[in-house]
Amino acid sequence: MPPRRPRTATPSAPRNGGGLTLARLVLAAVALLVLAWFIGKRPATGDAPVTRADPPAPAAAPAPQARLIRGEKSTTLADIGEARMTLQDQGTALRVEGGVGRNFASDLGALLDAAPSVRRIDITSGGGYAVTGLEAARIVRRNNLTVRVRGYCASICVALWAAAAQRQMEPDAVIGLHQRNAQCDALPSPDREECHYQDQFATEHDSSYRAWLQAAGFNQRLLDLQARTASEDIAVLTAPLLWDNGVDFSVVDRDGTRLGRAEVERLLHAAAARH
């Protein structure tokens, strides 16, 4: 058998004088307490720096509290009709009611060519086709028009409003934001799969739409709200909420008289109380 390894002896602590006894520990603790009390009671000298707590950082601005209206994803292709366009106010205003259909931009351009005295569009629309909506926004910008929202303006309609030289809303009007809807799920297979594939690269609409909103003062919180709201839902924004998030516009009554924020909020509170 191999020889056993010798054990290494562990030195024991000395019995007397080699460590702190309990009495010495107590005395040391008392001495430290007395020293700390003495230092704390000494008056501060004139050269001693004064340490001040930094003020708390300002709280981040709250996210927009938009009302979210839930919808259902469509399983059929939407058939968006053409909006009704009517000249008003002796030919200086164009009343637009209805969807942004396939002929919306061409109809708008033809009507403005025939009535060059039009300086304002009064619109009520839930949106429609993106391509014609963006073209209509460019027509609004080229003609330096004012766009006034009556009731509501949602989806691609917001691009027309954002592109205006002057943006107006009536006090009870709202703006609606959500994602673009390519309606791929309403197509039969294999067209549905091809649509989803192509939609990954359809960035022109998103960048153009976003550019119009940014030019109108929509801040990053509102842009994020639009980007994360599903296409079947709608995020509803009132005038005060738009003001709070940097959007540049004015609120007017039906006669065009400009209203201040206090009056707008009073009207909205009164309307809410009635319901």
Whole-angstrom Cα distance, residue 234 to residue 153?
11
Write the Ramachandran bin of 65: left for phi over 0, alpha for psi from -120 to 50, otherwise beta: beta
Residue 17: its pLDDT value, please? 37
Examine the pLDDT at 2 and tell me if it is beyond 90.
no
Q: In whole angstroms, what separates CA 5 from the centre of its chain?
A: 76
Yes or no: say if 122 and 88 are a contact pair by the CB < 8 Å rule. yes
Enumerate domains of the chain plus CATH numbers: 74-274 (3.90.226.10)
Tens of pLDDT, residue by residue over 92-114, are: 999 999 999 989 999 999 999 99
Residue in this structure with the two tokens 């004139």, named with its chain if needed: 46
SS3 235: strand
Examine the pLDDT at 188 and tell me if it is beyond 80.
no
Whole-angstrom Cα distance, residue 265 to residue 124?
21
Q: What is the separation, in whole angstroms, between the first and last Cα of the chain?
A: 100
| Predicted confidence band of residue 24 (pLDDT cuts 50, 70, 90) | very low
Residue 221: its pLDDT value, please? 96
pTM: 0.72
How does strand 166-169 pair with strand 174-177?
A: unpaired
SS3 250: strand
> Counting beta carbons within 10 angstroms of the beta carbon of residue 163, is it exposed (0 to 12), middle (13 to 18) or buried (19 or more)?
buried
Whole-angstrom Cα distance, residue 210 to residue 227?
9
Please, what sign has the CA dihedral across residues 234, 240, 243, 247?
Answer: positive
Instruction: Locate the DSSP E strands across 37-156.
Output: 67-69, 84-88, 93-97, 120-125, 146-154
Yes or no: say if 226 and 213 are a contact pair by the CB < 8 Å rule. yes
